[in-house]
Amino acid sequence: MPGIAIMTDSNCGIMPGCEPFADIRIIPMPVLIDGEIFYEGTSIRPEEFYAKQRAGASISTSLPSPGDVMDMWASLLKTYDEVVYIPMSGALSTSCASASALAAEEPFAGRVHVVDNRRISVTQAQSVLDAHYLAADGLSGRQIREQLEAEALDASIYIAVDTLKYLKKGGRITPAAAAVGTVLNLKPVLTIQGDRLDAFTKVRGMKSAFRAMCRAVREDLDTRFAPLKEAGLLKLGMAETDMTKEEFGQWRDRFQECFPDMEVLHSPLTMSIGCHTGSGALGVGLVRVHRP
């Protein structure tokens, strides 16, 4: 029987059916649209989601049901000895805490290892790949969890939001601030540094927002991530919501020009994030990797 299965949710940007390795499984994140539940990557496509959002649908995020999570664990444990489950950051959702409580009970205790390494999107996807490689190197499920959690803060994300509409709708900014920001073409840049989503800066226009994010990445490279960069254990990441291939390609080319000696990973920002950012959001960041 194979040793370890790696399980995660679609917040990592990998959709069900698109897993890069046979030992990886994705549970889709649910979104509630006008009272109806849809599942990311299975019953709704991104273009449908953003069309409904632009049309004014009532949208909120939810968590995978405990039953669905446990059913996938039980199915995997028929084939694998252990499961390493990497949900989205526990600081951004209660999904991780809920899964940890479930994993402490029989028949999962000691066989399902829930990892909270405080990541989402591209950085969460890299954690999934790292877990796959660590399992291939012979580490146990417990050892993989401990290592990923110890490296939790070896990642950095910056997100520029093109519209203030959905931040206002979600109560993250006041209507007055949104109105002023819209008139002045202000683009907030948000950051995720492990624990939560925070404001980083505000600038006028997406080009200025992109330059601010590149400066932040450069500062991270030159300071706290310098040893990882020197060791060749660091990669760039990019993600976006509802951009055309050509539009995103232009941003990616500019990002690569700023850091020509580094590899750029990519996965789209998921619907759970798009619910708050709307279309046209752009994220960049850095993440530790286990295989150069």
For the chain, 292 residues long, the average pLDDT of each consecutive 10-residue run is 89 92 95 94 91 91 92 97 92 83 95 92 94 96 96 92 63 41 61 76 89 96 95 95 93 96 90 86 93 68
The per-residue pLDDT for 172 is 47
Q: What are the φ and ψ backbone dihedral angles of 109, each rounded to 5 degrees? A: -55, 130
Domain ranges of the chain: 4-29+64-150, 30-62, 155-288
The per-residue pLDDT for 149 is 94
The per-residue pLDDT for 179 is 39
Coil, helix or strand at residue 12: helix
Residue at token pair 């601030």:
177
Exposed, middle or buried by CB within 10 Å (0-12, 13-18, 19+), for 184?
exposed
| CATH top class, domain 4-29+64-150 | alpha beta
* Chain centre to alpha carbon of residue 63: 14
The per-residue pLDDT for 94 is 80
The per-residue pLDDT for 69 is 96
The tokens for 284 are 């960049």
Q: pTM higher than 0.85, yes or no?
A: yes
**Looking at domain 155-288, which CATH architecture does it have?**
2-Layer Sandwich (3.30)
The per-residue pLDDT for 173 is 43
What is the number of other CB atoms lying within 10 angstroms of the CB of residue 244?
9
The per-residue pLDDT for 292 is 63
Task: Identify whether the C-beta of residue 277 lies closer than 8 Å to the C-beta of residue 236.
Answer: no
Name the amino acid, one letter, at 105: E
The per-residue pLDDT for 120 is 87
| Distance of alpha carbon 85 from alpha carbon 5, whole angstroms | 8
CA angle, residues 154, 24, 271, in degrees to nearest 5: 70
The tokens for 176 are 């007055």
| Distance of alpha carbon 46 from alpha carbon 11, whole angstroms | 13
